[in-house]
Structure 1
Amino acid sequence: MGIKKQLGPIEIIVNNASVFDKLGLEEVSAQELDRHFAINVKAPFLLAKSMNEQLTTGSAGKIINLNDWRKARPTRLAYGVTKSALTGLTRTLALSLAPNIQVNEIAFGAYCHPQIYPWVDHVRISA
């Protein structure tokens, strides 16, 4: 028995998969860029397309694309480019799929962790 028959139509998609390789302009190959686009942009696109095709008239769905508020990073070029593209995809899908499918993006910010200390002037930790 297929998943759709067993569980019914997809009602919500949370796109959380991502590639976050530390590669600057000099290190990014065409293959690496393709891999980033496949996971960070193409997969959410294909999932949205599949959801749109399987919804019946009158049914609704939600898509949530998880993203990064700090997309532009000199040492993560392919990541930044594809996460910026994901924002564009999210906005376009929101307009294209409305009103049956609601599409949103959540862009997470930094939290207090030793990895972010180099990016902030002052970090205050309170118990």
Structure 2
Amino acid sequence: MAHAVRFYETGGPEVLRYEEVEVGDPGPGQVRLRHVAVGLNYADTYFRNGTYPIPMPNGMGVEASGVVQAIGGERPMALVVCEPGQYLDRKMLEVHLQGFVERGRINKWAIPKQFKFVPEIPKTSVGKINKKLIRESELG
């Protein structure tokens, strides 16, 4: 069970409560972290004592670092274009990208779950990637 330092009213250190908290699954665009470090700054005392008003109840520590445990929503899809005569499949891509993870160059969460092999990436009239057309072709 996760724990948090929370307060339900403003005041001195005596208003702080160390509590078990339920951490749900992340929603779209969110991640769930296992915190490794949480920064407490002087501003946190201002939140606690009411100098900077915030909604109640609230907690201490607005900065944190940690390890991603879950990602909300879908991972992005990778559109892959092969050169003529080149052979590439999903497994080859996964092995190649895993090498970057092992060397610490990218996070494992950056590897897409879906790969779509296409003859070319759709472009707009000014040469930019046509994201709208890509979305429409995936939904339609």
Give TM-score scaled by structure 2 length: 0.21
Greater helix share, structure number = 1
Give TM-score scaled by structure 1 length: 0.22
Greater strand share, structure number = 2
